[in-house]
Chain A
């Protein structure tokens, strides 16, 4: 149990003075317990960006002990290719994971890692903060929002049938249990992470019973959390307003499909998946933070990769664990480097290598 902290912990830890001491002395916390984190480097550029993140975390004195695991599928006892048990065991024990991009295995008989993780750990909420990055300009400058997507049911329940030839139906499933669970997470997140407003995104005007149930659950949880401002908005209205004035939005909570679309729409506003962090929250305190971009096989091993998405996923993890101060330090160094422009990686229009970018961030942390 040592070092295990659930998501509902306040960021204001009792040992505040040891925060300051650590900052001054650049060593791990005096109180000692370092959080074990399962690290899945992934494929392609995965290993290099994971190394970059580990280097930066060490420079900042982040209280994390890495447990790297290999998730390359192996042949299981029944002949099917499965995720190695050691990887799953590590995750079950540490409960906190940081994951790089994974290549999709080709061919049948492979168990999708994402699906395996989601099912094993009941990953029910996908959280994606989207923030405008100074130094990587898009037409949208004032974005600072978080999308929270219910990730277990809704339109992606996978229940489809052919009724008769040429007529197909797909079932969207909404349950009170799952809706309540993600709503509670959203309000808790808003409170612990200092966000002011939670907006539920829905289409209950059209899907009266299903989205109606989701909406009702959010309303109930809102009443239990009066300190957080609560708003309701139709999905299409959010889309219309999001591309005109994204500064209107703070935390958004919604069912699966809308969340999928909205999180990608918002990532597009700030510059795409290359710099966007993401987290998957599961039952029992499990949280897996991941970069959602691809493996970029064409630049793998050439020291050209951009570790920002994985790094910001890592700082998101630190905030989740209650280490807001360390997270802010790392983020300030990263955003400062990006804003400055001299050490930007190729995908952001710069000339720096992954190593140079990493070193610059470490230099800023130390100064």
Chain B
């Protein structure tokens, strides 16, 4: 298989692929076809892990694949209707692979209509502790406690990740999102950790904003935000608000990073089970995530080619999926991207 832009045959890179649930498999098919049509030198090692399907690969199997490949393209995982285990599969994966930083890129795209046109935010969310610690108990019937854990170590780690990201990508400001006026110790520790890391990066501006005000500001003046660093739950909220601002879950790419591994995935992680199998899902977000994966692997000509093809289809406004106000199917859109690359 040869690379789209050069004449020398490049041996394909093996990348783990988790198709996921809901519309995940259809979005993956789109990526596979676009890559094949454009001659992108990637081979996929599919691991079918799921919490809702009868036959699921084990976490050990996934861990083994990741140890070899280091990089993964991942679809959304559904939550079971009535789960018995306190910790979900998503949380287990994040913790076992130590994918502590979730990065969601919400940028207004030309050709995707929405109420705001000046959005360009990066949400960096700590996703291994906080409210998702899965530590709950019912001491007395009808009285439940749920523990939110914040550690200095993980707060410093995500803050450093955010500032390093800012430096590497030439971004100017990091805003810490918190509720330390009410949760003085937990969010207070998070905020204090962010401040101490900020001192080490004088070239990056730092400020802080309370999460409810942040949401109010996002819907009225999103252009004021650049990078937002958040603990777990607030990141989930802000990710989704920001994704909605630029056009929804179908157009936003994301990634989860750890010390050893990186996973590329849709930014707003919803499986849309109702759309499953109906060939209506928008593959833009997944394709953008796949392009980011190529960039991560250093396959720059292929990265540019995929992004360019996708951007031209969006800009033309002729082939649009349902969420963009059109009638095109997932496969229509996929074909359009491949054609745009030729």
Contact = CB atoms under 8 A, between A and B. Distances in A.
Given A239-B244, A242-B244, A261 B211 contact: yes
Contact of B86 (A160, A208, A257): A208
B213 interface: yes
Interface stretch (B21-29, B145-153, B194-202, B308-316): B145-153
Interface string B80-115: 000100101001000000000000000000000011
A140 B115 contact: yes
A203 B239 CA distance: 15
B225 interface: no
Chain B interface extent, by class: 35 or more
A160 B184 contact: yes
A205 interface: yes
A268 B146 contact: no
A143 to B, nearest CB: 11
B245 A170 contact: no
B216 interface: yes
A213 to B, nearest CB: 5
Interface in A243-300: 243-244, 257, 260-261, 263-265, 267-269, 272
A163 to B, nearest CB: 8
Interface stretch (B32-40, B136-144, B333-341): B136-144
Contacts of A174: 143-144, 146
Interface string B154-190: 0000000000000000000000000100111110110
Nearest to A159: B145
Contact of B138 (A161, A209, A263, A272): A209
A169 interface: yes
Contact of B212 (A138, A166, A173, A265): A265
Given A239-B237, A268-B220, A166 B145 contact: no
A170 B129 CA distance: 12
A263 B215 CA distance: 10
A170 B244 contact: no
B115 A176 contact: no
A268 B216 CA distance: 4
A175 interface: yes
B248 interface: yes
B183 A207 contact: no
B131 interface: yes
A158 B245 CA distance: 33
B248 A240 contact: yes
A176 B138 CA distance: 11
Chain A at the B interface: mostly helix, strand, loop or mixed?
A: mixed
B185 A168 contact: yes
B137 A264 contact: no
Chain A interface extent, by class: 35 or more
A166 B142 CA distance: 32
Interface in A158-200: 158, 160-162, 165-177
A235 B151 contact: no
Nearest to B212: A264
A231 interface: no
A209 B144 contact: yes
Given A170-B185, A210-B136, A240 B240 contact: yes
Contact of B240 (A167, A237, A257, A268): A237
A155 B184 CA distance: 12
B145 A172 contact: yes
B282 to A, nearest CB: 13
Interface string B120-141: 0000000000011000111001
Contacts of B69: none
Nearest to B90: A206
A160 B186 contact: yes
Contact of A173 (B86, B144, B151, B247): B144
A239 B142 contact: no
Contact of B144 (A175, A237, A243, A261): A175
Given A209-B137, A237-B270, A264-B216, A243 B245 contact: yes
Report the 10 A-B pairs with minimum CB-CB distance, sorted nearest first: A268-B216, A176-B142, A243-B244, A139-B115, A205-B79, A166-B152, A264-B212, A209-B136, A210-B146, A265-B215
27 contacts: A140-B115, A161-B185, A166-B151, A169-B147, A169-B149, A170-B150, A171-B145, A171-B146, A171-B148, A172-B147, A174-B146, A177-B142, A206-B79, A206-B132, A207-B131, A210-B136, A212-B144, A236-B236, A239-B215, A239-B237, A239-B240, A242-B241, A244-B247, A261-B215, A263-B212, A264-B216, A265-B219
